[in-house]
């Protein structure tokens, strides 16, 4: 069974009016960009135009002829709002329509003006000052890289590497090799350690965002980019750390990565999908050794199917056990404790989980077809 095609078709068929008529329910939200990047991969592998048209139809709801984006406000300086812009490059390349380039220009203008830490790392949001979250590397950095290489002659590639260097330096836990969810440079947030500025736990999906940011950026950067090997090194180191916290029986991973035996922790679909995607894509890009990683990839891919997937009576793919949302601070004062991370709702067919799952399936199938 071609699971990527089956999953893409399930997404298209389940609620077509919400996705096609209202551009994913009318909200410029990063999670839909995760899904649509999965569709881009399926389209490239199958050549079926309906998948490209699905991307275009959803994005066209938001993109005006002058490049303005419905529901987007640059002054929020929210790095999450950059993510959907990754689809603009393929749309511009395939159609030549200037509105897509203009929209990409608008999002790049945000990055040019986006507030940064003293070492040059992007804040997560204007309302989260001096904070670097793992999530933000996925949201902004691959777009930044592709924009530079598509429209700006690759002028700022060293700044892209800097985002990873600064974040890795501050968020790495040397003992485990895992990365903490977030870091507050000012060390003033209620969730931040007063000495280190770090949040208290290793959240599975945040590490997944970081791993996807690495492989997506590696795919974009030329192989002769200075310090590109740094990204390869931290990809492999982080994946090796993750594997040591895998649930051996199922082949997948927990919501709070290192607390395997703690009461309330659960196997979680979105982070597990992201890890599978990162391994498969790393093999495809030849930055991970196939001999070393293929058995792990096969085991974890099968784990996704066995642990999280159920088919409906219509034959649609349901992805279970995704954390709906997790963050730090804000109006609801999310405190980053273990209790907090396991208290957020666990839902079926969360868009972030589905998108990561679709990307993982497509990458896995491409790698296996190369054998």
pLDDT at 103 over 70: yes
In terms of C-beta distances under 8 Å and separation of at least 24 residues, what long-range contacts does 307-310 make, across chains too?
307/250, 307/251, 307/252, 307/267, 307/269, 307/272, 308/252, 308/267, 308/269, 308/272, 308/357
- Note the pLDDT tens digit of each residue in 247-277: 999 999 999 999 999 999 999 999 999 999 9
User: What integer pLDDT is reported at residue 16 of this predicted model?
Assistant: 84
- Note the pLDDT tens digit of each residue in 85-99: 999 999 999 999 999
- What is the distance of C-alpha 97 from the center of its chain? 27
From the list 143, 158, 141, 283, the residue with the least C-alpha distance to 227 is: 158
In three-state form (DSSP H/G/I as H, E/B as E, the rest C), the secondary structure along the chain is CCHHHHHHHHHHHHCHHHHHHCHHHHCCCHHHHHHHHHHHHHHHHHCCHHHHHHHHHHHHCCECCCCCECCCCHHHCEHHHHHHHHHHHHHHHHHCCHHHHHHHHHHHHHHHHCCECCCCCECCECCECCEEEHHHHHHHHHHHHHHHHHHCCCCCHHHHHHHHHHHHHHHECCCCCCECCEEECCCCCCCCCCCCCECCCCEHHHHHHHHHHHHHHHHHCCCCCCCHHHHHHHHHHHHHHHHCCCCCCCCCCECECCCCCCCCCCECHHHHHHHHHHHHHHHHCCCCCHHHHHHHHHHHHHHHHHHHEEECCCCCEEECCEECCCCCECCCCECCCHHHHHHCCEECCCHHHHHHHHHHHHHHHHHHHCC
- Note the pLDDT tens digit of each residue in 320-347: 999 999 999 988 889 999 999 999 999 9
Q: What is the mean pLDDT of the chain?
A: 96
User: What integer pLDDT is reported at residue 243 of this predicted model?
Assistant: 98
CB 197 within 8 A of CB 171: no
- What is the distance of C-alpha 65 from the center of its chain? 28
% of the chain residues with pLDDT over 70: 99
- Note the pLDDT tens digit of each residue in 177-210: 999 999 999 999 999 999 999 999 999 999 999 9
73-104 in b/e burial notation, b at 16+ Cβ within 10 A?
A: eeeebbbbbbbbbbbbbbbbeeeeeebbbbbb
31 is catalytic: no
Question: CA angle at residue 174 from 164 to 226, to 5 degrees?
Answer: 30
Name residue, tokens 């078709």: 9
Catalytic-labelled residue, pool 31, 80, 135, 258 = 135
User: What integer pLDDT is reported at residue 26 of this predicted model?
Assistant: 87
% of the chain residues with pLDDT over 90: 94
What does pTM read for this prediction?
0.98
Segment 292-316 shows an average pLDDT of: 97
User: What integer pLDDT is reported at residue 371 of this predicted model?
Assistant: 67
User: In which region does residue 187 sit, left (phi positive, over 0), alpha (psi from -120 to 50) or beta (all else)?
Assistant: left
* Dihedral sign (CA 121, 124, 129, 130): negative
pLDDT at 145 over 90: yes
Segment 109-113 shows an average pLDDT of: 98
**All domains in the chain, ordered by first residue:** 3-369 (1.50.10.10)
């Amino acid at each position: 069974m071609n699971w990527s095609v089956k999953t893409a078709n399930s997404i298209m068929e389940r609620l077509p009016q919400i996705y096609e008529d209202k551009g994913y329910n009318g909200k410029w939200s990063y999670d839909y960009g995760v899904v649509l990047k999965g569709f881009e991969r399926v389209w490239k592998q199958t050549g079926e135009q309906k998948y490209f048209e699905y991307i275009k139809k959803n994005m066209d709801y938001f993109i005006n002829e002058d490049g303005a984006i419905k529901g987007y406000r640059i002054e929020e300086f929210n790095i999450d709002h950059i993510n959907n812009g990754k689809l603009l490059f393929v749309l511009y390349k395939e159609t030549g329509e200037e509105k897509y380039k203009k929209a990409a220009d608008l999002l790049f203008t945000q990055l040019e003006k986006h507030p940064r830490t003293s070492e040059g790392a992007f804040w997560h949001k204007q309302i989260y000052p001096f904070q670097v979250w793992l999530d933000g590397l996925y949201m902004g950095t691959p777009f930044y890289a592709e924009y530079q290489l598509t429209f700006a002659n690759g002028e700022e590639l060293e700044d892209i590497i800097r985002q990873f260097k600064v974040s890795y330096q501050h968020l790495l836990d040397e003992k485990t090799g895992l990365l903490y969810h977030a870091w507050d440079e000012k060390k003033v947030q209620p969730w931040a350690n007063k000495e280190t500025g770090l949040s208290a736990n290793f959240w599975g999906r945040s590490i997944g965002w970081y791993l996807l940011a690495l492989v997506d950026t590696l795919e974009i950067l030329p192989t002769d980019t200075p310090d590109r090997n740094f990204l390869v090194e931290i990809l492999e180191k982080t994946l090796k750390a993750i594997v040591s916290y895998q649930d051996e029986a199922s082949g997948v991973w927990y919501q709070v990565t290192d607390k395997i035996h703690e009461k309330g922790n659960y196997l979680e679909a979105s982070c597990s999908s992201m890890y599978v995607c990162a391994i498969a894509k790393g093999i495809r890009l030849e930055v991970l050794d196939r001999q070393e990683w293929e058995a792990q990839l096969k085991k974890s891919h099968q784990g996704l199917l066995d642990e999280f997937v159920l088919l409906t009576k219509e034959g649609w793919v349901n992805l279970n056990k995704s954390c709906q949302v997790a963050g730090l601070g804000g109006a609801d004062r999310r405190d980053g404790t273990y209790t907090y991370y396991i208290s957020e709702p666990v839902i079926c067919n969360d868009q972030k989980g589905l998108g990561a799952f679709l990307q993982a399936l497509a990458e896995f199938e491409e790698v296996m077809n190369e054998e």
